[in-house]
Structure 1
Amino acid sequence: MRADKTYASIKHSIPGRIRFKVPDLRKDKILCGTVERNLEKVAGIIRTRTNDKCAALVIRYNPDFISPEHVYEALREIVAVHTTKICPIKDKKECGCPQVKGALRYFSFVSAVGGAVLISESLLGITVAQTLFSPLGFLTVLAAVPLVKEAVTKLREKKFGLEGILAGGIVAAVIAGEAMTAFEILWINAGAELLTAWITERSRRAISGILDNTTHHTFVLRDGVEVEVEINNLKEGDVVVLHTGEKICVDGTIVDGQGLINEAPITGRADFIHKQQDDQVFAGTFVREGVIYVRAEEVGDKTYLARILHKVEDSLENKTAIESTADKLSVRLVKIGFACTVGTLLITADPWRAFTVLLVMACPCATVLSASTPISTAISTAAKNNILIKGGRYLEEVGKCDIACFDKTGTLTGSEPSLEHIHTTEGVTESELLTYAFSVETHNHHPLAQAIKHEAGLRKISPLPHTVCEYFLGKGMRAELPENENHSTEILVGNKKLTEQFDVRIGSLSRQVSTLKRKGLTVLYVVKDKDPIGLLAFANTIREESATVLNALGAGGVDRTVLVTGDEPATANDLARTLNIPEIHASAMPEEKATLVRTLQSEGGKVMMVGDGINDALALAQADVGVAMGTGGAEVAVEAADIALVDDDLKGLMYVQQLSQDTVKIAYQNFWLATGSNIAGVIMGATGVLSPVMAGFLHILHTMGVIANSSRLLLHSPEAIESKQGKIYELPQNS
């Protein structure tokens, strides 16, 4: 028996308005915003409002275009996609959790020992011996073992890094009888390690939450019977049975059945794809309608969603240019520190002052953290805003790009189709053709049907009653409209496959169909009693935010905007004129897109490529920063891209550009804070103002200052763009 989670329940309903209780929304403002944005993309839904305090959602909709049942289904599907919390990697060790636990255990041990000594001396008045052979000295040496091991390993590799410097400072402090000072160094270093591990794990969890679109259980076919199994127990070769509304949990090939597949979680596109035997499906997509039997080819951490997560996790370990600068700066500071230490000893002949200077400069934790903390925090913040950044290098680079190349379809144009052109045969008016089409498509919730109903609503056309209504998966609709008691009119609305099924001859319409398809339009035939009476042509409207985003990118440093598309020059020119894009490359093949990006780079530009399809993958990989719409317009595109706008929202480009520039700005502020306090510490230590204990507190103070400054990025949120009702931009119709 299949047990489904209740994602939402109806608390109150009147025509045009429903109030839901959605438990997952409670105290989750990010999910509230995600649900609102996705619901408002559904045709027929007018407005949404959430309340995270009481987990309530109010939806206002047009009952002429969408039924309450389909409103609920749309809500259930959206909530299901964004609330599943299971890591797609089978081995939990790969999710990074142990690093945080280990760092926490070490930090807790160091804090406990240090706290006990502090309480003993400050509150109880008990003097604690701090020599090398004292209990505290022994614990200090024990706590320093991991750091010393790491330093020795680096020395064997002929590398002298921060670990060796810290280990040297600790040994010097213990030998000098200042074990507590050595413990302060260990405590600061342990805190830095814990903070880094926590921020990285937080980024991983946020990213995993975006990518994790599988479910816990599914059904497989065993000896002709459906058997429920856990996802983790699936094996290659299993035949998984998936029904209407269920989520696909494997990458595989359909061996039987057919269905409409909602690939929006993967491709970001709202239209449903008809898939049948021998077609491929991917984990994280939904069966919108039908029943399919899928032979599993990739399961668990081999599915492409998991592969993306692996790539992101790997990239979190790669240092950006600014992080490398921080490491180099910290090593230089230490070298300068040793010079200052020797100089202080020679000038003052005071080993105590020289030791204080050594402690100040031998532990450049704040300098090391000055770049890594803002980078990790920014990646985590972006993930919470449904923007997937595959590493700090791309976060840093995207704010420096001065050339932006855009694909057209699915990028600057939206994924929701609109009725762009109506062609009628002689003696048939547009209103008559649209009335027939509207009457047939009344109960259909395919995106093209929604576009027909939307246009009919704008023209105030009402549907005619029908007695028979049939839906042909992947082809179209057939209905019978009664004229009198003895006769009904048969109307077909669908693609060429439907006309072939009913032996309809297209005749003179073929030339017009070819013209419309050359313009990149999707064409549906309208047939009355076996005679074609017209065509309906659809295109995706220009996104309402496209012009605003292009202007904002220009203000943020993009000097050159390029439209590169595989569409015909006429269509590309129309779009470029509307959005004021000066440079166009039309009819471009995938290799030509990549060549164009390479040429722009050879001219000295930093190129950002924005696309969504397989034909963009080569250009996305070639660009300095590749940005994929949705969680990738195609599997190849998302794997080639460096940044993915998960919500398929172009405004994310504005956000990530500003986030990049703010992150670099905060990193440099951290440099000055860390370096300035170190210089001040050296001066005070050399003049005798600062004691070794106060040098430890100075480390704590400026390290916390760096952390606090970096944490401002947690509050970084996308700026809202005012949107107006209706179509903001449309491609001009070409007759």
Structure 2
Amino acid sequence: MKKKNIQEYRLQNLSCANCAMKFEKNVQSIPTVEEVQLNFGAAKLTVKGDASIEQLCAAGAFDGIKVVPASSKEETNTLFYKKKENILAGISLLFVIAGYLMGALQGENHIITIGLFLIAIIIGGYTIFKDGFRNLLHFDFDMKTLMTIAVIGAAIVGEWKEGAVVVFLFAVSEALEAYSMNKARQSIRQLMDIAPATALVRRKGQVVELATEDVQIGDILIVKPGQKIAMDGEIINGMSTVNQAPITGESIPVKKEVGDEVFAGTLNEEGALEITVTKHVKDTTIAKIINLVEEAQAEKAPSQKFVDRFAKYYTPAIIIVAIIVGIVPPLIVGDWHHWIYQGLAVLVVGCPCALVISTPVAIVTAIGNAARQGVLIKGGIHLEQLGHIKVIAFDKTGTLTKGVPEVTNVLAFQDTSEELLIQLVAGVEHSSQHPLAKAVLNYANNRSISSVKGTDFQSVTGKGAYATVDNQQIFVGSVQWIQEMMEIPTIILKEIESLQCEGKSVIVVASKNSLLGIIAIADQVRSNCNNVLQNLKSIGISNTVILTGDAQTTAKAIAQQLHITDVKADLLPEDKLNAMKELQKQYGVVAMVGDGVNDAPALAAASVGIAMGGAGTDTALETADVALMADDLGKLPYTIRLSRKTLRIIKENIMFALGLKILALLLIIPGWLTLWIAIFADMGATLLVVLNSLRLIRIQK
């Protein structure tokens, strides 16, 4: 089967949401294009099929949209003073000023005055009229169509001066809209510029500088102090501190040595490093982050879907109102000139620019800000859901705790010595990836206790594991599991309970016929957990829950230490899923914080799944709705504050966009609505929406 030809492109000068939809339709109409997807927030185009850049540029020529390959480092937007429409607007302003001067000298109805205003209208409105007339023929009533009708109508009724001023002010409004989207998209451009475009590579004994696209897996990178690391890889020589802020949002440098993983775009601060490349440039962590952020900005939030549906009926409704205003009152009271003029002003008020841009500009800004802070939010819907969170469920191990448990107590029974007990357990756990197993293996290594690797290893999900060690079958697991096989004496159960009350996990060791001993393991609580949970309560997260596979007493000890309100323990993976569903029935919108691997079912079922340590875990990046790129819970309160602020700003934007227009429309009643007021209402709403959304840039951790 032939592989589909899929190409990605960056778009220049894409600032109008309506124009973006029209451009997408134009590209789809190219015969050789099978499918097209336009990401307005990221100014990115994905095309399935065959289409040349010339064809794509032609599809966007109506609004000056230019197309460049996605890999291009070319500046993605034309400078303000170089844009054709802005140059024409500037020339138009000169003729408007000249018209005013001539009007003051010769009167507004003088032929030279009218001529100057007419030239201003033609020059400033050339691109508007060209598209407006074409749209009118196809009954496509976008904002340029409405402006075309309004300005020509103003000229017909003799309002040359206002027609000229409206054309200029509309150009100013368009420029503001373009500025706002460019400002909001800066977060993506900054991410794209993080990783260097070239790398020093040692090949066949020679050090050469290569474009990152030409670097292969297995190549050796040479990174000097003060240089950025160009590719993801593993250190094979050297030691240094690396500033990982671009990826994780944490400004404190991290010590790196041989065997440690490093990321493209991070800064090597002190020592020289040699790094084996482990990923191609398109697969690096920063590349994935950029791709996921762009996809997130393309995904429409519920509020944006509502606005899009509303706008679909809003524009036709405004046209009907304009026709009614222009025709009905003069049939009753006369004065056709006045009421037709009022109807034209209604058309200008009806431009949906501010309304359409009200939600996407806020979401693009918020998601970009979060990405710079080391928080990956994978869509507007998740951003909005976070704002409604009242309950957060936490996995315990690796989330509330450091995830590096240590053996604290070893109790051997009968003729078994402590050393032999550790040998047997280490023999079973050699093949296990469980954190508690690693704790026992580390304990054995630190005390130079040698062991024989067990055979016939079997893991029992949520219960433990067993293997044959020294010709006997050894079982290592939870208290409940061992109790299914044999009776545990009351005195030992009391000892286990005492250890669990201290917040320690207890594993029991047994052979087929007898109990051999118990091992207590403690995982230390993260140092900032108390502060994080206090911050969450201060912002209204009144209920917090632990969902863990650990014993009830162990989980309760952690909950008491951190003042967590509820505990659900002894849970298998499917039990965590059911517990999450119960929480949602009880509270509605519930978030789950986990590691993105063991907690995958619960994370997927949660209203918002939040994964820890996304920078080093592909699974977290792929499965979670939100990824905290640093292994740091401290980002959680910031993320919730950002989402709530975004929700408030979206609501404010919709109020600004509709409120100013409603106020302007109310001026029809006394007959005070003018084209000037109409265009200022539209431009003012756009400006308010833009500036209000850009406030989200200032929100920091």
- TM-score normalised over the length of structure 2: 0.61
- Tell whether the 8 Å contact from 1:400 to 1:557 is kept in structure 2 after alignment: no
CA positional deviation for 1:593: 4.4
Cα deviation, residue 681, structure 1 = 1.6
Match of 2:185 among 197, 201, 205: 201
d(CA) in 2 for partners of 1:702 and 1:294? 53
Match of 2:304 among 323, 347, 351: 323
Q: Which residue of structure 1 aligns with residue 525 of structure 2?
A: 541
What's the offset of the Cα at 1:378? 3.2
In the alignment, structure 1 residue 653 sits paired with structure 2 residue 636: yes
Matches for 1:53-452 after TM superposition, within 5 Å: 98-99=76-77, 101=79, 105=83, 108-123=86-101, 135-144=119-128, 148=132, 165=146, 169=150, 172=153, 178=160, 179-180=163-164, 183-184=167-168, 186-205=170-189, 207-208=191-192, 212=194, 214-215=195-196, 218-223=199-204, 225-241=205-221, 249-251=230-232, 283=264, 294=276, 296-299=278-281, 301-345=282-326, 346-348=328-330, 349=334, 350-360=336-346, 361-414=349-402, 421=408
Moved more, 333-342 or 634-643: 333-342
1:209-264 deviation per Cα after TM superposition (whole angstroms, max 9, x unaligned)? 7xx4x4565443422x141324525333452246898876435689x889999897
Q: Give, in whole Å, the separation in 1 of the partners of 2:656 and 2:374.
A: 31
Q: Which moved more, 1:242-251 or 1:177-186?
A: 242-251
Paired residues for 1:567-716 under 5 Å? 567-586=550-569, 588=571, 593-594=576-577, 596-597=579-580, 600-601=583-584, 605-632=588-615, 634-716=617-699
Identify the residue that residue 46 of structure 1 maps to in structure 2. none
Whole-angstrom distance in 2 between the partners of 1:642 and 1:513: 33
1:578 counterpart letter in structure 2? Q
- Contact 1:404/1:558 (CA < 8 Å) preserved in 2? yes
Q: Distance in 2 between matches of 1:200 and 1:268?
A: 19
Q: CA deviation at 1:187?
A: 1.6
Instruction: Tell me whether 392-401 or 322-331 shows the greater mean CA deviation.
Output: 322-331
- What's the CA shift string for 1:570-616, capped at 9, x where partnerless? 43232123234344344656565456545655677223222234324
User: How far does residue 704 in structure 1 lie from its aligned partner after superposition?
Assistant: 2.8
* C-alpha deviation, 1:399, in angstroms: 0.6
1:365 and 1:703 in contact (8 A); partners too = yes
Show CA shifts across 1:49-70 (max 9, x none): xxxxxxxxxxxxxxxxxxxxxx
CA deviation map 1:55-95 (0-9, x unaligned): xxxxxxxxxxxxxxxxxxxxxxxxxxxxxxxxxxx966678
Structure 1: how far apart are the matches of 2:309 and 2:114? 33
* Change in CA separation of 1:259 and 1:103 when aligned onto 2, cut-off 3 Å: same
Question: What is the CA distance between 1:180 and its match in structure 2?
Answer: 1.8
Tell me the alpha carbon deviations over residues 604-640 of structure 1, each in whole angstroms, 9 at most, x when there is no partner.
7223222234324454444332323344462211233
Over 3 Å counting, the alpha-carbon distance change for 1:274 and 1:308 in structure 2 is same
What secondary structure does 1:563 align onto? strand
Change in 2 beyond 3 A, CA 1:652/1:586:
same
Deviation at 1:655?
A: 2.5
Distance in structure 2 (CA, Å) of the matches to 1:607 and 1:103:
49
Give me the whole-angstrom Cα distance separating, in 2, the residues matched to 1:237 and 1:498. 35
Contact between 1:564 and 1:588, CA under 8 Å: does it hold in 2?
yes
Choose 550-559 or 192-201, whichever is displaced more: 550-559
Aligned mates of 1:261, 1:635 — CA distance in 2: 24
Deviations 1:672-694 (A, max 9, x none): 33323222222324533232233
Post-superposition shift, 1:143? Answer: 1.6
- Code of the residue aligned with 1:342 in structure 2: it is I
Structure 1 residues 271 and 195: alpha-carbon distance in aligned structure 2, compared to 1, 3 A threshold: closer
Contact 2:240–2:273 (CA<8 Å) still a contact in 1? no
Shift of 1:648: 4.3
Q: Could you tell me the TM-score, scaled by structure 1's length?
A: 0.59
CA distance 1:258–1:630, shift in 2 (3 Å): same
Change (3 A) 1:291 1:558: closer
Per-residue Cα deviation, 1:123-179 (whole angstroms, up to 9, x for no partner): 5658777789954444355322685499589x79xx866565556556655666654
CA distance in 2 between counterparts of 1:499 and 1:577 reads: 33
Q: Does the 8 Å contact 1:218/1:240 carry over to 2?
A: no
Pairwise CA RMSD: 5.2
Tell me, yes or no, if the aligned pair for 1:188 and 1:699 is still in contact at 8 Å: no
Counterpart residue type for residue 214 of structure 2: L
CA offset at residue 111 of structure 1?
A: 3.5
Asked whether the 8 Å contact 2:304–2:359 carries over to 1, the reply is yes
Residue identity (%)? 26
- Contact 1:564 1:584 survives alignment (8 Å): yes
1:101/1:336 CA distance change after superposition, 3 Å: same
Where do 1:13-32 residues align within 5 Å?
none
What's the offset of the Cα at 1:412? 2.1
SS at match of 1:540: coil
Find the aligned partners of 1:326 and 1:342 in 2 and give their Cα distance. Answer: 24
